[in-house]
Amino acid sequence: MKIALCEMDIKWEEKEENKKTVATFLTHCAAIGAKLVLFPEMTLTGFTMNAACAAEDNYKTSAFFIECAVKYKLAVGYGSVTLGKDKKGRNNYSIISKSGEDISSYCKLHPFSFGEESKHYNRGNELSISSLEDLTLSTFICYDLRFPEIFQAASKNSELITVAANWPEVRREHWITLLRARAIENQCYIAGINRIGRGGSIDYCGDSSVYSPDGELVSRLELSLGELGNIYTADIDASIVHSVRDRFRLKDDRRVDFYISQYEKQLK
């Protein structure tokens, strides 16, 4: 399966302008034969702490992406925000099939407390594991990348794990290193989709990439759209995941019961 990572420069809190950029990306992704197209975290607003501004307005965001998926005949992953009764947001990532069905819905498990996200957004409490054609995949968001336990849980079934982000340039080396590490230790494809440009007062590094189950960088720059951003692509082959796991049976040696016992001791 050919996937495309849309490394876009998100205009700060300007949903309508960002929709135009998304449509441009999707036009090119359809032309190059992608099957799954992935956009960064909070696709239409950037990483804003103004949850009310970023939040869905009568499902217009989801309706837009459903329309796009059907129009371009592409599965599309995008980031959005919903608002709870407590007025705090939920930082979500969804994947829509080419027929317009919602096949994956995930809420960020770890709001970024260092950047005060946890003051404005509630955390999720569930993994998302879904199927697309012959591929099983899971989705995470940005800061989740720093928590390896959830990747181990997801990779028990998933052959591809995606990480949609607004990852700052100042911690660029962490992004690159952790993406590769997650691929190696989980023996699956890891796809990191980051934004570029400047949002609010933060510069973003891009470095969108896909790593193989052996930790090899397998994505390539397919197309540059100038100031709008870049499209990176990679071919995902689920059989390679199973081949790597059969050849080097790392997961057989995991001691999950022991790990749980150690966590339980710490909680007492």
Task: Output the DSSP codes for 69-107.
Answer: HHHHT-EEEEEEEEE-TTS-EEEEEEEE-TTS-EEEEEE
Does residue 56 have a pLDDT over 90?
no
C-alpha span between 267 and 45 (Å, rounded)? 38
C-alpha span between 19 and 55 (Å, rounded)? 15
| Mean pLDDT taken over the chain | 97
Backbone angles phi, psi at 32, to 5 degrees: -95, 0
Q: Are 121 and 88 in contact (CB under 8 A)?
A: yes
Does residue 253 have a pLDDT over 90?
yes
Q: Write the pLDDT tens digit of every residue in 130-142.
A: 999 999 999 999 9
Q: Are 4 and 208 in contact (CB under 8 A)?
A: no
Please name each of the domains of the chain with its CATH number. 2-267 (3.60.110.10)
Does residue 98 have a pLDDT over 90?
yes
Q: Are 232 and 210 in contact (CB under 8 A)?
A: yes
Q: Write the pLDDT tens digit of every residue in 200-241.
A: 999 999 999 999 999 999 999 999 999 999 999 999 999 999
**Mean pLDDT of all residues in 75-96:** 96
> How many Cβ atoms from other residues are within 10 Å of residue 170's Cβ?
11
Backbone angles phi, psi at 149, to 5 degrees: -60, -40
Output the CA angle 46-195-166, nearest 5 degrees. 60
Per the structure block, which two tokens stand in for 203?
A: 């510069």
